[in-house]
Amino acid sequence: MPVTAKLSKLFYDRLGEQVANELVTWFNDVDATYRADLREMNELNFARFDAKVEQRFAQADAKWEQRFAQADAKLEQRFAEYDAKWERRFAQYEAKWEQRFALLEVRMAELETRLERRLGEQARWMFAAWLSLMIPLIGLWLRR
């Protein structure tokens, strides 16, 4: 946007109307050229700045991606360690329970054997008691 320069009356009188207008036109052209050059330089600087910002954002994104990948790897490793730890603990508890159940089965078998032996003894004594009651009853029945 050219700025119309208004020069003094004395300037117009000494140089003349045509020369003064040419001088004003030349100043306006120089101003337009400088403005265009400045605009172009600003656009180039902004393009460079934009490229640098893009590059830095890309580097920051890559850096964060790397950090997230490392954190994921650490978490996966920790989960694997905890999983192995829990598997070992469960295996130990399972072995303990198996041992305790085996001991319980042995004790139950011993109890069953003892119970059968005692029931056998009890049956013999009951048979002897029954027989001792039946003999006099049979004797009384035959006597009649």
* % of the chain exceeding 70 in pLDDT: 95
Among residues 43, 16, 42, 21, the alpha carbon closest in space to that of 29 is found at 21
Band of residue 23 on the pLDDT scale cut at 50, 70, 90:
confident
Rounded CA-CA distance 96/109 in Å is 20
Band of residue 25 on the pLDDT scale cut at 50, 70, 90:
confident
pTM for this predicted structure: 0.45
Question: Would you state the pLDDT for residue 5?
Answer: 57
| Overall average pLDDT of the 37-65 stretch | 95
Give whole-number Cα distances, 132 to 38, 75, 76, 126, in Å.
Answer: 136, 83, 81, 10
- Average pLDDT for the chain: 91
Q: What is the pLDDT of residues 94-138, one digit of tens each?
A: 999 999 999 999 999 999 999 999 999 999 999 999 999 999 999
Rounded CA-CA distance 19/39 in Å is 30
